[in-house]
Amino acid sequence: MSDVLILGGGIAGLSIARALTAGGASVTVLDRAAPGGPASRAAAGMLAPHAEFDDEDDPLRAFALAARAGWHDYAGALETETGTAIGYNASGAILIANDQAERARHIAFARRHPQEAQWLNAGEARHREPALAPDVEGALLLVHEGHVNNHLLVEALTRACANAGVRIHRTNATPIVQVEAARIARVDCDGIVWRPDVVIVAAGAWSGSIEGLPADAQIPVRPVKGEMIAVAAGTRPLRHLVWRAGTYLVGRAGLPLAIGATVEDAGFDDRLNPQSARQLFEAAKRAAPAAIGPEIVDHWCGFRPGTPDGLPAIGRGKLDNLIFATGQYRNGVLFAPSIAGLIARLILSDDDAALPAAFSPLRF
Ligand SMILES: Cc1cc2nc3c(=O)[nH]c(=O)nc-3n(C[C@H](O)[C@H](O)[C@H](O)COP(=O)(O)OP(=O)(O)OC[C@H]3O[C@@H](n4cnc5c(N)ncnc54)[C@H](O)[C@@H]3O)c2cc1C
């Protein structure tokens, strides 16, 4: 039976902890409060691989589609286990064609993937989604895309972990790793010493700077800032995820309509830019004006964990007992159940057959 210490208690760390305890491991999650807040709360909660990966040759696309396919069962099991509804909704997504080139691309996509997508002319699009702008000439309906309330998801995962006996230690201090003979011998924090068999780094955008880890064992994860807003309700609530020209609108259960998101290389600068908020608001009104009320009711940012090649970093690191589960970038909510399953197989069965080689942290 493995004794596992997970650094990071966001969606990644918690979902891995749940999967490991289900397989009999003894797990501690050590979560350091990070400035700006974790990505898992900042996210929009979309489960939208087609909308995110429109390049059909993108190596992440197949992984993302498989991840989405697992979400229905994952959400059901988590809700039953914890008694917490997480607002999983396979609502479908509407991608508004913004110009002729996009229109042609969408129509061709719908022809190639009739089980997944349908081209809607202007009338059909507005019939499906009455809040759409009057100038919309057509849209692609992606029938299986969806979303989840990521705030409730974090709550449910925390509850599932607590029920399963995961020890969750939250701290304002920085955990310090000590390496001896090419393995992590101990982790110190708040006067406590852990000597786990395995350490998993699931520290989101902070995964590239783990205190005490030698430079050649660190991996190049960087923060990619994203700002989002939420708006007051308009006259017609959205039925689907809606995208137009890179801006998306997500109506999660129990939360005001969220609109995202900027993508910025700004380090860990968590200041909010009022101009970004205004631009998101205007872009959302161009997509679905009837869904939008008169004012912005919330504005926040988070840091996505990015890698130089845009692929996740999942699997063994350069020390014997070091594993990474990070680099999910824009899709860490979507990927969470799949990553948890892969890491659990790796640790509990020493089986890395299902882990895509392209995701190996050893590539850096
Ligand atoms: C604006 C925005 C919108 C997004 N929208 C979506 C979306 O719609 N769909 C989707 O799938 N993904 C989305 N994402 C991406 C997704 O949020 C992330 O990929 C995912 O949340 C990463 O989860 P995580 O648990 O790895 O990181 P985090 O949630 O950041 O958690 C990491 C945790 O580690 C802690 N920590 C940091 N350093 C240490 C340390 N040294 N020791 C211990 N703990 C530490 C932090 O405090 C934090 O609690 C979005 C992200 C942003 C910013």
94-134 pLDDT per residue, tens: 999 989 999 999 999 999 999 999 999 999 999 999 999 99
Q: Ligand 1 atom 25: the closest Cα is on which residue? A: 10
Q: CATH topology for 93-143+223-306? A: D-Amino Acid Oxidase; Chain A, domain 2 (3.30.9)
User: Range(s) for CATH 3.30.9.10 in the chain?
Assistant: 93-143+223-306
Q: Ligand 1 atom 50: the closest Cα is on which residue? A: 43
Q: How confident is residue 298, by pLDDT bands cut at 50, 70 and 90?
A: very high
User: Range(s) for CATH 3.50.50.60 in the chain?
Assistant: 3-42+151-220+308-363
Q: How far is the CA of 132 from the centre of ligand 1 (A)?
A: 31
CA angle in degrees (0–180, nearest 5) for 226-227-233 = 135
C-alpha dihedral (277, 132, 72, 105), degrees to nearest 10: -100
Q: Which of 218, 304, 307 to mutate to test the pocket of ligand 1 (most atoms within 8 A of CB)?
A: 304
Strand 292-306 with 183-189, pairing? unpaired
Q: Ligand 1 atom 4: the closest Cα is on which residue? A: 43
How far is 304 from 222, CA to CA, in rounded Å? 8
301 CA: nearest ligand 1 atom: 1
Q: How far is the CA of 223 from the centre of ligand 1 (A)?
A: 10
Alpha helix (H) ranges present in 83-149?
Answer: 100-112, 122-128
Q: Which of 6, 14, 40 to mutate to test the pocket of ligand 1 (most atoms within 8 A of CB)?
A: 40
pLDDT tens per residue, range 260-289? 999 999 999 999 999 999 999 999 999 999
225 CA: nearest ligand 1 atom: 53
Residue 192 CA, chain-centre distance (Å), reads: 31
Q: How confident is residue 1, by pLDDT bands cut at 50, 70 and 90?
A: low
Helices (H) and strands (E) in the chain, counts: 10, 19
How far is 310 from 306, CA to CA, in rounded Å? 6
CA angle in degrees (0–180, nearest 5) for 72-76-80 = 175
- Contact 10 CB / ligand 1 (< 6 Å): yes
CATH superfamily name and code, 3-42+151-220+308-363: FAD/NAD(P)-binding domain (3.50.50.60)
Which pLDDT score, from 0 to 100, does residue 35 have? 66
Q: What is the CA radius of gyration of the chain?
A: 21
Backbone conformation region of residue 73, classed left if phi is above 0, alpha if psi is from -120 to 50, else beta:
alpha
Element (H, E) at 76: helix 71-82
How far is 103 from 109, CA to CA, in rounded Å? 10
Q: How confident is residue 59, by pLDDT bands cut at 50, 70 and 90?
A: confident
- Give yes or no for residue 36 having a pLDDT over 90: no
Element (H, E) at 160: helix 150-163
Element (H, E) at 300: strand 292-306
C-alpha dihedral (167, 336, 356, 195), degrees to nearest 10: -10
- Contact 40 CB / ligand 1 (< 6 Å): yes
- Contact 302 CB / ligand 1 (< 6 Å): yes
